Structures are given as structure tokens and as C-alpha cells.
């Protein structure tokens, strides 16, 4: 390859990496995996090393991430936030250690080793123990001010613990990683898919998209979490090692990853890398490797950094959990809300220790964007417990006999016409009698968060529908034991247990019943708001759109969905059938002359005697209400240990602040 071709390749790599930086850092919508991105960056670094005259300050190798989005206020980091150089083998890890020894003149180096979470890096500013500002990493110098959104993360202390033996810094920058655990990520994507929203590509992008919402109320409903892993500038406290800094953060009440360890030498680092890799699948969150940091802060300072990377730290990446297979066909599944989801059916292949033969493609746009065809050789990627995905097509393996995918015009289950509403990515079957939707609807109705009918799972729901015994949820209440015993694997005892469980559900709480109906966009939180506002199904059924939008948190789209549901005559027929069966939803009863009637509470800090959910239930049962934020109308602010900024706001408004003991007396405990 001659010099001109190399220089052309450098320009092409820079352009591609800048494009992918924008997709990853600004749009939270990556098109390639971290592993493929790392390969592009490594190739560019090697070429710039080979041709020093081609180096440029504007090259992606010389900076971190991407510029902050204009929609957020910018925040200048008091000290730079660097990204890390990567290693992909033991040899590269050993090279890093040898380089540190050579630059420092030391015979042995002690490190701190930690899991490398796949999240969004943030910088937090605390003054005299109180959280003041928080920002994304951005380009390493300037980030996006996401202070209000960070405050919604319940694991992030708004005020440091005040301990007699632990000094509080007058000023400190704390670096952390915002992330979403695997199981909450799956649940979040299931809700988004059911409601017709595009699912997040991975937990990292879900976390980034959630933290960068302009409305912090949306952020507060996302299952964000955070680990703190380092510091920048600090005043008022001295420590000499990275390990000491982490111990201080932990004592001050910050969540520090329990798997972080000191490693006395590089041999211990290699063993740590292997040990964490072995338990990777068991962790509740995604990691893509480990991070090694020189423990001595003086040595960190001496080593400094090169371009965008500190010389004293290294990201050691695990091999990507990927495999190649062939797409045999692309099926289309119909969900509870009528959403059509393409599913790739493949030759079974082992991906990260799990045999995979199916991969969800989410929607038609994703299939077309990746150009996945029946007969294609594809790369399948599986990360942790996340559903396997078709990552990319091996186009060079195409023979010309592959068949492009086309979304059907009619529902594969019932034959009804398929529609795609303007502004949505999902195709839908709008036939509410569609068998696939009805099966899912019955299962949802009986699920734990809804009517909680024990013994009525997916298989039994499908059996009941296929046998023609249940065509809508109200039919459940007309079943007999003899009908159930006629089903496969339904003995007399199990049949009677199911009959009893169905009968037991006839007087559900109103909010549970509303959620069980499966109204589009109505989750558990919205169902509770509707129950509190309308008090009965009759009132909700007759509600107009303006009545619904008058409720805080309910916008025009949700309101329209509710009105449309109760204007459908088949749904009203089902409601009448519920009444005939004796199903009578009950509004949560508040005792007469309830002691907390009309009083509102805000909790801040940690309760020692009970959890927040228990306290919330007690307050609501005694007639009170719980709010997440302090307003001038708040009656009480209950201050537990490590109370945060809500305390200061309550004082400024002159609101009564009570201790946990005073709260317990108030509720009669």
C-alpha cells in the first residue's frame, strides 16, 4: 500500500469515527459495536503513528467523545475528563505495565482494578458536602449540565454523610458512571415496544438517553443507577492513593463498586481480569472489561497523559460475545398492543455460552437499515442477559439468492389490515379481536402487577384461548372446574385452585384493574393517577379528554388513548360482562377521619425503621399523599439520615421538618 492510499485511509477513518462518535455520544443510537469502533480507532492510531506528518489536533484520536448538545447548558469541567486507551490481550496489558515501569523507574507498580461498566461518564461537583452540579463528560473539557436529572438517581447522595472521623472536602470533583441494570433494561424495552416506541439499542444508550432528557420527570421514571470511581480536583482533604480516595467516597455515602480491588502487581491484575471475566454474566449490570489504574496519585501526576488518554490507566476489554450464523427466515410476531415485531429465525449457534436461534429485530426500519435478508450470513451479538440481536450482515457472503424482508400488509394471525401511524416506527394490527393480541392480553390481565391471578400464566392462557373457553379477560369469571379439567395437564386440584384464584380476584383495587385492562400507554403509575382522580370505572369511562389532561403527568397522547379505548363498543361489552360476573373494582379505602387526610409528605434521606415504599403505603392508607418534590403546599418534610437538598428547600419555604421518630409518632407507631 503506498503513501497516498494510507493518507486517504486516514481521512476516511477520521470521517467514519466522527460519524460514529456523533451517533454514540450525541444521538445515543450507535450503528456499530464497541468492539468494531475500537478496531477503527486502533487502525487510525497505528496509521498516525506511522505517518506523523498526517497528525492533526482535530483528529478523533486527540479528543474525547463529542461536543455537548446545544439543547443543554454547557459546563466546563474544573479538571479534564479523559477517555482510556484500550488493551485487547494479556500481551498489551503487560506492555502497559512495562511502559509504566520504564517511565517511573520503579521495579514494581501497585494498581487498583475495577469492572468497566458500560454506561455514561459524569462529573459531579460537591461543595462542603452538598451536591451542586453534575455534567456529562462531553468532549472532556466541556460537558452538558444535567444536574436536575442526576438528582433523580436515588442511589446518588445529595449530601455527604457527616461522620466524626471522616473529613468532608470543601470542594471535590467526583467521577462516576450512570448505568441501567440488565433486568430493568429488559423491562424498560418491553414497555417501549408494547407502547410503540423504538427500543433502546443497549443499556448504555438507555442510560444516556434517560439522563439527557429535557424533562427530569421522564428521567425520574427510568431505572438509573450510578457507581463512583474517581476524583478530579479536591480541596480540604488529603490522600495519597486511588484506593484511599475510593475508601473516602464509600465512607461519605457514595456507591462504590464492591468488586474494585487493590492489585499489588501486574500478575494480580491478570488474575483479576480472568476472575471478573468468569463472573461477567452473573453481574446484574453490563461490563465490557476492566480498568487498571496506577494506585499512587503522585505517580499518576508524574506520568501525566498523552493526547486524550492518561498514561496511568488502561481499559482491558473482554472479547465481544459474537458469533456467525445464517438467517433461515424472518417471522413476524404480534404483541398485546397489536405491535408487529420481526424475529430472525437462525441456525442455532453458541453465543457467549448460550445457544441462540432467535433474535428480535424490533421493527421494519431496523431490518431495512441493517439490510437483513433471509439466507444472509449474519453476526449475532449477545451481551449479558440482553436479548440477542442481529448485529450486522456479512455482505461478502451473499450469493444473490437472499430474499429481502417485507412487512406484511395483513396481520399474520387474523388477516386484518396493518397500519403504521404517522410518527411511529411500529406497524400495528388494529383488530382488538386478533387472537395473538387476545392471548397476550389475557396473560397481562392475570399478571402479578395487574389482577395477580395465581396459576394463570402464558401456557394456561393460550390453552384457554385455543380451546375457545376465553376470548376476552371477562370470560375468565365464567369458567367452570370441569372445563379446566378438560385441558391438558389440568388435574382436579389444579383446576380448583385456578377457579379459587379467579374468584379471589373479583374485588381488585381500582388502579390494578385499570392497569389490567391493557389500555395503550397506561402503565401502573398512570393507572394509579386515574384511580385517585376518578374513583370508579363509571367515572373513568365517561371522562373526556380535557378531564384527563387536567391530571398532572397525563398528556394529550395518553388521554386520547384512554378515550379511544372506552369509545370502542367491544371494550364496553367486555366491561358489562365484568359487571355481570360480579367483578367490582374498589378504590383504596381511607378510614373515616383519617389522621393524615389532606396532608402531603416529602421524604429525604434514609429511613432506619422502614423503607420508602412501606412509609408511602402507610401515609396513603391514613389519607395522606406522597410527593417527590418540595413545594409551598407541602405539609411535612420527613428528614432521615443523609438528608439532601430537599431539606434546604423546605427551610427556605418555611415548611415543617420532622424527624423519623416524629413521623413514627404521627402515624401511631
Q: Is 271 labeled as catalytic in the residue annotation? A: no
E-only strand ranges, 352-438: 354-360, 373-374, 377-381, 389-393, 403-404, 418-419, 427-429
CA torsion angle 342 212 633 157 (round to 10): 110
CA terminus-to-terminus distance, the chain: 80
User: DSSP states of 44-109 as a string?
Assistant: HHHHHHH-GGG--TTSGGGS-S-PPPTTS-EEE-SS------EE-SHHHHHHHHHHHHHHH--S--
Closest CA to 363 of 383, 343, 380, 348: 343
Which residue out of 15, 50, 116, 159 is catalytically annotated?
Answer: 116
Bridge partner residues of 76 (DSSP): 142
Q: How far apart are CA 110 and CA 370, in angstroms?
A: 45
Burial 655-664 (b: 16+ CB within 10 A, else e): bebbebeebb
Contact 175, 122 (CB under 8 A): yes
CB 160 within 8 A of CB 178: no
Cα separation, 73 vs 160, whole angstroms: 26
Integer Cα distance of 191 and 522 in angstroms: 10
276: which 3 cell numbers? 471478573
**DSSP 8-state code for residue 298:** H
Nearest-5° angle of CA 114, CA 115, CA 116?
A: 115
Q: What is the β-pairing status of strands 656-659 and 636-639?
A: parallel
Residues 130/645, Cβ–Cβ less than 8 Å: yes
DSSP string for 128-157? TTEEEEEEE-TTSSEEEB-HHHHTT-TTS-
Rounded Cα distance between 299 and 103, Å, is 10
Residue 310: in which H helix or E strand, if any?
strand 309-310
Indicate the SS3 state at residue 494: helix
Question: How many helices, marked H, and strands, marked E, lie in the chain?
Answer: 24, 26
Q: How far apart are CA 80 and CA 58, in angstroms?
A: 17
Give the Cα separation of 374 and 327 in Å (integer).
5
SS3 for 258-279 is: CCCEEECCHHHHHHHHHHHHHH
E strand segments, 170-308: 171-179, 225-235, 261-263, 287-294, 305-306
- Residue in the structure block whose three cell numbers are 417471522: 331
Question: Which grid coordinates belong to 449?
Answer: 402487577
Q: What's the CA gap between 375 and 325, in Å, rounded?
A: 10
**Residue 480: how many other CB atoms lie within 10 Å:** 11
Whether 245 contacts 231, CB under 8 Å: yes
Which residues participate in catalysis according to the annotation? 116
Amino acid at each position: 500500500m503506498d503513501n497516498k492510499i494510507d493518507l486517504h485511509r486516514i481521512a476516511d477513518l477520521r470521517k467514519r469515527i466522527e460519524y460514529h462518535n456523533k451517533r454514540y455520544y450525541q444521538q445515543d443510537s450507535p450503528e456499530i459495536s464497541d468492539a468494531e469502533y475500537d478496531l477503527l480507532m486502533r487502525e487510525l492510531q497505528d496509521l498516525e503513528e506511522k505517518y506523523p506528518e498526517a497528525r492533526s489536533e482535530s483528529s478523533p484520536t486527540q479528543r474525547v467523545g463529542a461536543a455537548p448538545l446545544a439543547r443543554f447548558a454547557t459546563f466546563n469541567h474544573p479538571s479534564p475528563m479523559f477517555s482510556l486507551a484500550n488493551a485487547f490481550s494479556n500481551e498489551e496489558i503487560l506492555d502497559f505495565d512495562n511502559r509504566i515501569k520504564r517511565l517511573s523507574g520503579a521495579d514494581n507498580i501497585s494498581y487498583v482494578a475495577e469492572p468497566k461498566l458500560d454506561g455514561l461518564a459524569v462529573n459531579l461537583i460537591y461543595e462542603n458536602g452538598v451536591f451542586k452540579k453534575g455534567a456529562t463528560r462531553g468532549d472532556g473539557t466541556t460537558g452538558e449540565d444535567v444536574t436536575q436529572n442526576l438528582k433523580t438517581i436515588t442511589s446518588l447522595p445529595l449530601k455527604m454523610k457527616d461522620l466524626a472521623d471522616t473529613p468532608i472536602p470543601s470542594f471535590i470533583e467526583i467521577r462516576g458512571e450512570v448505568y441501567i441494570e440488565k433486568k430493568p433494561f429488559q423491562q424498560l424495552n418491553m414497555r417501549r415496544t408494547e407502547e410503540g416506541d423504538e427500543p433502546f439499542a443497549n443499556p448504555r444508550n438507555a442510560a444516556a438517553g434517560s439522563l439527557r432528557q429535557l424533562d427530569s420527570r421522564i428521567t425520574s421514571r427510568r431505572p438509573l443507577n450510578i457507581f463512583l470511581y474517581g476524583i478530579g480536583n479536591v480541596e480540604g482533604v488529603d490522600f495519597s492513593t486511588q484506593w484511599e480516595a475510593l475508601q473516602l467516597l464509600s465512607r461519605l455515602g457514595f456507591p462504590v463498586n464492591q468488586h474494585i480491588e487493590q492489585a499489588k502487581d501486574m500478575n494480580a491484575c491478570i488474575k483479576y481480569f480472568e476472575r471478573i471475566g468468569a463472573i461477567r454474566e452473573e453481574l446484574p449490570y453490563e461490563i465490557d472489561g476492566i480498568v487498571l489504574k496506577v494506585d499512587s496519585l503522585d505517580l499518576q501526576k508524574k506520568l501525566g497523559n498523552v493526547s486524550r488518554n492518561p498514561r496511568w490507566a488502561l481499559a482491558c476489554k473482554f472479547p465481544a460475545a459474537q458469533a456467525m450464523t445464517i438467517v433461515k427466515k424472518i417471522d413476524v410476531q404480534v404483541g398485546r398492543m397489536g405491535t408487529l415485531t420481526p424475529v430472525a429465525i437462525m441456525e442455532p449457534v453458541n453465543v457467549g455460552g448460550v445457544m441462540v436461534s432467535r433474535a428480535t429485530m424490533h421493527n421494519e426500519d431496523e431490518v431495512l437499515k441493517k439490510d437483513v435478508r433471509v439466507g444472509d450470513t449474519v453476526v449475532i451479538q449477545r451481551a449479558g442477559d440482553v436479548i440477542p440481536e442481529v448485529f450486522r450482515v456479512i455482505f461478502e457472503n451473499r450469493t444473490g439468492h437472499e430474499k429481502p424482508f417485507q412487512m406484511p400488509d395483513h396481520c399474520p394471525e387474523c388477516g386484518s389490515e396493518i397500519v403504521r401511524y404517522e410518527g411511529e416506527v411500529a406497524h400495528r394490527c388494529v383488530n382488538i379481536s386478533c387472537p395473538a393480541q387476545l392471548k397476550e392480553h389475557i396473560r397481562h390481565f392475570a399478571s402479578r402487577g395487574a389482577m395477580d391471578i395465581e396459576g394463570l400464566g402464558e401456557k394456561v392462557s393460550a390453552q384457554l384461548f385455543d380451546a375457545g373457553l376465553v376470548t376476552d379477560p371477562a370470560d375468565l369469571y365464567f369458567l367452570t372446574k370441569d372445563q379446566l379439567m378438560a385441558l391438558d395437564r389440568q388435574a382436579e386440584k389444579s383446576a380448583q385452585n385456578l377457579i379459587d384464584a379467579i374468584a379471589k380476584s373479583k374485588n381488585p383495587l381500582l388502579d390494578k384493574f385499570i392497569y389490567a385492562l391493557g389500555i395503550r400507554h397506561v402503565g401502573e403509575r398512570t393507572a394509579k393517577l386515574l384511580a385517585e382522580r376518578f374513583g370508579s370505572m363509571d367515572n373513568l369511562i365517561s371522562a373526556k379528554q380535557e378531564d384527563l389532561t387536567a391530571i398532572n403527568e397525563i398528556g394529550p397522547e395518553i388521554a386520547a388513548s384512554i378515550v379511544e379505548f372506552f369509545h370502542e363498543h367491544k371494550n364496553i361489552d367486555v366491561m358489562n360482562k365484568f359487571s355481570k360476573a360480579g367483578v367490582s373494582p374498589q378504590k383504596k379505602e381511607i378510614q373515616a377521619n383519617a389522621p393524615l387526610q389532606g396532608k402531603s409528605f416529602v421524604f429525604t434521606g434514609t429511613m432506619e425503621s422502614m423503607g420508602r415504599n412501606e412509609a408511602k403505603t402507610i401515609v396513603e392508607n391514613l389519607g395522606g399523599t406522597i410527593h417527590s418534590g418540595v413545594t409551598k403546599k407541602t405539609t411535612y418534610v420527613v428528614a432521615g439520615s443523609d438528608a439532601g437538598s430537599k431539606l434546604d428547600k423546605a427551610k427556605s419555604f418555611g415548611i415543617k421538618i420532622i424527624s423519623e421518630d416524629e413521623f413514627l409518632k404521627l402515624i401511631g407507631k
